[in-house]
A and B are shown apart, each in its own frame.
Chain A
Amino acid sequence: MSVLVHLEGATVKRGVQRIIRELDLMVHEGQHLALIGPNGAGKTTLLRLMAQLLRPDAGKVTLFPDEPKMQKRGRLRSAVGVLMEGSYLYEGLTVEENLQFYGVLFDVPDLKRRIEEGLTRMELTSVRHKRVGTLSKGMRKRLAIVRATLHQPRLLLLDEPFDGLDERSIGELQLWLEELASKRCTLVLISHDLSLIQPLCQRVCLMDQGRIVQSWRRDEVPPSLWEQGYGHWLGRV
C-alpha cells in the first residue's frame, strides 16, 4: 500500500515554543485518519505540515514518497485537497464564479459537470449566483468543501469540516466524504466531535502537546473513547 504522507522527526516551533515535537507518522493510501485531541495539541499545525503549507523547523515531511513523479509541485498539488481555517473564497464573487476560478487554477477537467455535481450535493444550487459575502457561515463552509474536492484529490486534508453545519448538511457531507473515500481518496480529518468521524476513519491518532500519544486502528478503538472522550488517555505524556 503506498504511503501518501511520511513525517520523520518533524518539529515546528513558534518562537521558543515547540508546537510539534519530533513527530513520526505515516499515512497510507486508503487508511483514513482521524486526528483528535485537546485545543493547542498541534492538530491544525500537523495538518498544515501535511498540506505543505508549513515547513518543519527540523525533520522531514514528504508527500507521496514512493512516487517520484509526484515530486513535481504541479502534480503534487493536483493530488492534494485542503480545507483549512481560511475558506479561500472571494467575497466579491458569486458561488459559481469562485468555483470556476479555482477550477481553472486546479486545471480541473470536465469542470462544468463537476461544479454542477458539487453544488447539487452540497445543496448550493439555489445560491449559485449569490455573492459569497452574502452567504451564511454554513453555506460558506459547504462551498469551501466543494472547492476543496473539485479536482478529486487523492489526499484530502480537512480541519473541522463539520464545524458550523446543521444536521442535514452534516449528513450530506458524511455521505459525500464516504463516496470520495471509496474512490481513491484518502482522508485526514480533524474533528472535536468524535462520533461524526467514527464511521469514516480506519485509524485514530490522539495528539497532545505536539506529540501523538496514542494511535489506534479502527477495530482497536476502545468504545469508551467514542462515548466518554479521550481525557483518560491524556495523562500519559
Chain B
Amino acid sequence: MGFFLRSSLAIVKKDLRIQFRQKSLLLSMIVFALLIQVLLHFSFQANQAALHHVAAGLLWLPIFLSALLGIGRLMAIEEAEWNWEGMWTAPVDPGSIFFGKMLGSLLLVFLVEWVSVPLFFILFNPPAPQSLPLLIGCLLMGTWGYVSLACLFSVMAQASRLGDLLLPILLFPVSVPLVLAVVRLTQIALFPTMPGQEWVWLAVLGAYDILFTLLPILLFEYLLEV
C-alpha cells in the first residue's frame, strides 16, 4: 500500500512539475473555460429569469469541456519517448500509475475551477449559494468521477486511429449519471426549492466515484500491456 501511494505521488509530483514549468497547458485550459462561458452566454441568452434553468449547465459545461481537452494532452505527454513503457518496466502496480495520472489531472482541473467558478458568479450573477458546502462538495465529487473516467478513456482513445476524438464518444454516455447528479445538486445549492433530494444525488455521486476509481485502477494494466 505504501509503495502504491508513493509511486502515485511521485507521478503526481512529476506531472505538476512539468505543467507548472510550461504553464501553457494550464493557462490554455483556463482560457478555454472562459471562452466556453462567453459562448454559452450568447447561445442561451441567459437572463435572470432563465438562469434558474441553465445555471448548472453554465457552471459545468466549461469545466467538462476544458477537462476533456486538457486531459487528452496530459495523457499524451507519456506518449513521447515511450514513457508509458518506461513506467511499465517498473515494479509498480499499474493501478498506481493510473491513480497518479488521475490525481495530477484532477488537481489541474481543480485549478481551472478556481478560476471558472468565481467567473461564473461574476458573469452570470446567480444568487449567492444557499449552501456553499453543498456546492463545493458537488464540485469536488463531480470533478473526481469525471476526471477519473476521462483519464481512463483518454488512454484508450490515444491507442486508436481516431485519437482524441474518441474520448468524448466514450466519455459522455458513460458519464450521464454523474452529469445528472451534479446538475441537480448545483440547482439545489443555488436555488433550494427541492428539499431532501440532495442525499440521493450525493449517494449516486459517491457510488459513482468509488466504482469508477476502483475499476480503472484494477483494469489499467490491461491498457498498458503492449
Q: Do A and B have CB atoms closer than 8 angstroms in the complex? A: yes
Per-position binary interface string of chain A over residues 94-128, scored 1 when its CB falls under 8 Å from any chain B CB and 0 otherwise = 00010001101111000000000000000000000
Closest A-chain residue to B94, C-beta based?
Answer: A73
B18 touches A53 (CB 8 A): no
B91 touches A77 (CB 8 A): yes
Closest B-chain residue to A132, C-beta based?
Answer: B81
Note all chain B residues with C-beta closer than 8 A to A74. Answer: 91-93
Q: Would you call A169 an interface residue if the criterion is a C-beta within 8 Å of the partner chain's C-beta atoms?
A: no
**Known contacts A86-B81, A87-B81, A88-B82: does B14 contact A101 (CB below 8 Å)?**
yes
Note all chain B residues with C-beta closer than 8 A to A53. Answer: 85, 88-89, 226
B14 touches A90 (CB 8 A): yes
A88 touches B81 (CB 8 A): yes
Q: Would you call B223 an interface residue if the criterion is a C-beta within 8 Å of the partner chain's C-beta atoms?
A: no
A82 touches B83 (CB 8 A): no
Q: Would you call B214 an interface residue if the criterion is a C-beta within 8 Å of the partner chain's C-beta atoms?
A: no
B83 touches A90 (CB 8 A): yes
Note all chain B residues with C-beta closer than 8 A to A80. Answer: 89
Q: Would you call A166 an interface residue if the criterion is a C-beta within 8 Å of the partner chain's C-beta atoms?
A: no
Note all chain B residues with C-beta closer than 8 A to A54. Answer: 226
Note all chain A residues with C-beta closer than 8 A to B10. Answer: 101, 104-105
A86 touches B17 (CB 8 A): no
A92 touches B89 (CB 8 A): no
Closest A-chain residue to B22, C-beta based?
Answer: A92
Contact partner of B18 (CB less than 8 A), chosen from A48, A55, A92, A104, is A92
Q: Would you call A91 an interface residue if the criterion is a C-beta within 8 Å of the partner chain's C-beta atoms?
A: yes
Note all chain B residues with C-beta closer than 8 A to A48. Answer: 226
The CA of A48 and the CA of B86, in the complex, are separated in Å by 13
Q: Would you call A201 an interface residue if the criterion is a C-beta within 8 Å of the partner chain's C-beta atoms?
A: no
Per-position binary interface string of chain B over residues 71-91, scored 1 when its CB falls under 8 Å from any chain A CB and 0 otherwise = 000000100111101111111
Give the bracket for the number of chain B residues in contact with chain A.
20 to 34
Closest A-chain residue to B82, C-beta based?
Answer: A86
Nearest Cβ in chain B — how far from A152, in angstroms? 13
Q: How many A-B residue pairs have CB under 8 A?
A: 75
Note all chain B residues with C-beta closer than 8 A to A107. Answer: 3, 91
Which residues between 144 and 189 of chain A lie within 8 Å of chain B, taking CB atoms? none
A88 touches B91 (CB 8 A): no
Nearest Cβ in chain A — how far from B153, in angstroms? 23
Q: Would you call A200 an interface residue if the criterion is a C-beta within 8 Å of the partner chain's C-beta atoms?
A: no
A102 touches B90 (CB 8 A): yes
Nearest Cβ in chain B — how far from A91, in angstroms? 7
The CA of A53 and the CA of B82, in the complex, are separated in Å by 12
B80 touches A91 (CB 8 A): yes
Per-position binary interface string of chain A over residues 11-26, scored 1 when its CB falls under 8 Å from any chain B CB and 0 otherwise = 0000000000000000
Q: Would you call B52 an interface residue if the criterion is a C-beta within 8 Å of the partner chain's C-beta atoms?
A: no
**Known contacts A54-B226, A104-B6: does B81 contact A93 (CB below 8 Å)?**
no
Contact partner of A86 (CB less than 8 A), chosen from B18, B22, B77, B85, is B85
Note all chain A residues with C-beta closer than 8 A to B161. Answer: none
Q: Would you call B154 an interface residue if the criterion is a C-beta within 8 Å of the partner chain's C-beta atoms?
A: no
Q: Would you call A85 an interface residue if the criterion is a C-beta within 8 Å of the partner chain's C-beta atoms?
A: yes
Mark A residues whose CB is within 8 Å of B: 48, 51, 53-55, 73-78, 80, 82, 84-93, 97, 101-102, 104-107
Mark B residues whose CB is within 8 Å of A: 3, 6-7, 10, 13-14, 17-18, 21-22, 77, 80-83, 85-93, 225-226
Query: Could you list 21 examples of A-B contacts with CB < 8 Å?
Result: A53-B85, A74-B92, A77-B90, A78-B91, A86-B85, A86-B86, A88-B82, A90-B83, A91-B80, A91-B81, A92-B21, A93-B17, A93-B18, A97-B14, A102-B90, A104-B7, A104-B10, A105-B7, A105-B10, A106-B90, A107-B3
A-B pairs, 7 with minimum CB distance: A86-B82, A88-B86, A92-B18, A105-B90, A77-B91, A104-B10, A74-B91
